[in-house]
A = this chain, B = another copy of it.
Amino acid sequence: MANQEPLIISDKDEMRKWSRTMRSQGKSIGLVPTMGFLHQGHLSLIQESLKHTQLTVVSIYVNPGQFSPNEDLSTYPSDFLGDIRKLMSVPGGVNVVFHPKDLYDYGKGDDYEKMNGREKGKIVSCVEKSGIGHETWVRVENLEKGLCGKSRPIFFRGVATIVTKLFNIVEPDVAVFGKKDYLQWKIIQRMVRDLDFGVKVVGSELMRDEDGLAMSSRNVHLSLDQRAKALSISKSLFKAKFATEQGQVDCKELKDSLIHAIQEAGGKIDYAEIVDQENLEDLTEINRPAVFCVAAWFGNVRLIDNMEINV
């Protein structure tokens, strides 16, 4: 049963005006930031948001600030009309889809060319590449170096910055992030604490397809064969969880076993780490709530997955 079509807003001033009008009427607002090409995982974030607030805003924006020039920004999948259809299927409904064109375009003042000239040779993200004068970045200086941050050094800088921008534009009461991107969720929590945002951050559980693969917009790029092989990730995570429950707590052995299984299936490991659930420090032994985080390539597709292990 489809809900009413959400209001689609692309202008940031209009978006803020909507939020302020609603808040002046005493309504609470939830924000679910996405990069579009929605799947059941995203819809579960919206369902989580609906538990906390009266109104729901979903943002759909592929953030160039978190991609480096050699990453897959240009091939990141999109299907806006399909996304709207999916959003209309959510029981309870979505009120607004915030779908900006370019959140780093501030118009070209006299000084932009010069600013850009000054920074030549310092192109690290797809925003700097486009050269429109954006120069303010939010850094969560310790956490940003972990997990995905090691192989994608500008990734979390871009994430923290775009989330700051979305918080300032949408001014939500609650924002929901998926625990699939475990470090991202922790980084946003830390940022909200450190910068005193008046926003409550909620983490929503990782969703899997029936075969066990963690849901991701990037899965669409997998061939059937690659997909079958990529199941080695979730299978070995479940196996590690089971092994721990049976008393295996040595992190090196748990990681070696997982790495072996994924490589056996043809995957290329980016990282496989078992870390403390709170501060994401490396563990050598599972003696407190942990999370096993994995990133691996199958063909040209980089997949991430994780499993909380509570001893």
Interface residues of A (CB under 8 A from B): 12, 16, 23-24, 26, 103, 106, 109-111, 114-115, 118-119, 134-143, 160-161, 164-165, 168-169, 171, 190-191, 193-198, 276, 278-279, 281
Contact = CB atoms under 8 A, between A and B. Distances in A.
A190 B106 CA distance: 10
B196 A103 contact: yes
A75 to B, nearest CB: 27
A interface majority secondary structure: mixed
A168 B191 contact: no
Most buried by B among A118, A136, A138, A198: A136
A118 B143 CA distance: 11
| Copies per assembly | 2
A118 B146 CA distance: 12
Most buried by B among A23, A139, A194: A194
Contacts of A143: 135
Most buried by B among A12, A23, A165, A196: A196
Nearest to A145: B118
Given A114-B279, A138-B195, 7 more contacts: A110-B279, A115-B279, A136-B191, A165-B196, A168-B196, A169-B196, A171-B198
Contacts of A141: 135-137
Contact of A168 (B12, B114, B140, B198): B198
9 contacts: A24-B24, A24-B26, A103-B196, A106-B193, A115-B142, A135-B143, A168-B196, A168-B197, A171-B198
A109 B142 CA distance: 16
B278 A109 contact: yes
A162 to B, nearest CB: 10
B195 A135 contact: no
Nearest to A16: B198
Nearest to A110: B278
Given A111-B279, A115-B279, A278-B111, A136 B160 contact: yes
A186 to B, nearest CB: 10
